[in-house]
Amino acid sequence: MTEQNPFKWRHFQTEIILLCVQWYLRYPLSYRDLEEIMAERGLLVDHSTIYRWVQAYAPEIEKRCRPHLKACNDSWRVDETYIKVKKKWVYLYRAVDSQGNTLEFLLSPMRDAEAAKHFFCKALQSCAGSVSQIGSVRENELTSSVPATLPVPRSAPRVVNVDKNAAYPKAIGELKAAGTLPESVELRQVKYLNNLIEQDHRFIKRLTKPGMGFFSFKTAWRSLQGFEVMNMLRKGQVQGVDKGDVRGQVAFVAKLFAAAV
């Protein structure tokens, strides 16, 4: 995929490709559902073609949206949910802030302290990037030399709320010992406080059901990148695009690819 024209050599117009990809990532539709919807509109698009579009452009939409995300607050809710890949359960780690904004997500074959540490490091890097985008040029210069595995101070959470999974205290403890997390970060294991993220899981899980599972870890991850970023867009986490402004959200994605709508 070329940066200049990611739709080069495609047999369909950019607008049609983006429409199919966004519908699949936003609504609980199967690839065959979309094939029929397109046929109703006089467009013969095979479901396997739509699948290839989603695999190619879902990660690209997420990558291009990242610089436009609003910064989240420092009260984190962290939890994992289950996704079926090749008829086996794997774990989708997710974090939201106290207002329900998605912080980060990670698909992992394991549910242990190492997986939790990997997820926290990814979330810290992501939040550090969000902070630097809204900071001054001076702050960007100061944080540019920070190693990728360490967050800048302003990106660290004030409090992290988790469930009773024993892997989380171990992971947090090891990250504090390594200096990745400040000692001041409070870890809370209060179940009712995680109701927010458990409810948020539903928006992702309902999108995975029509496909009845994934056939590989790679295809699952690519699809989930698209599901998550469209969920962020739906929740109004993108700068200049309000929650509920569906037309504005569609126009924003089109603008990312310099496409007309």
Q: Which pLDDT value is given to residue 137? A: 29
Q: Show contacts of 173-179: CB within 8 Å, 24+ apart.
A: 174/113, 174/117, 175/117, 175/120, 175/121, 179/150
Q: Which pLDDT value is given to residue 136? A: 36
Q: Which pLDDT value is given to residue 154? A: 52
Residues of the chain with pLDDT under 70: 1-4, 9, 129-154, 259-261
Dihedral (C-alpha) 243, 24, 129, 254: value to the nearest 10 degrees? -70
Q: Which pLDDT value is given to residue 5? A: 74
Q: Which pLDDT value is given to residue 133? A: 52
Share of the chain above pLDDT 90, in %: 75
All domains of the chain in start order, with CATH: 14-68+238-256 (no CATH), 75-201 (3.30.420.10)
Q: Which pLDDT value is given to residue 149? A: 41
Q: Which pLDDT value is given to residue 128? A: 74
Element (H, E) at 31: helix 31-40
Q: Which pLDDT value is given to residue 12? A: 84
Q: Which residues pair with 207 in a beta bridge?
A: none
Q: Which pLDDT value is given to residue 150? A: 40
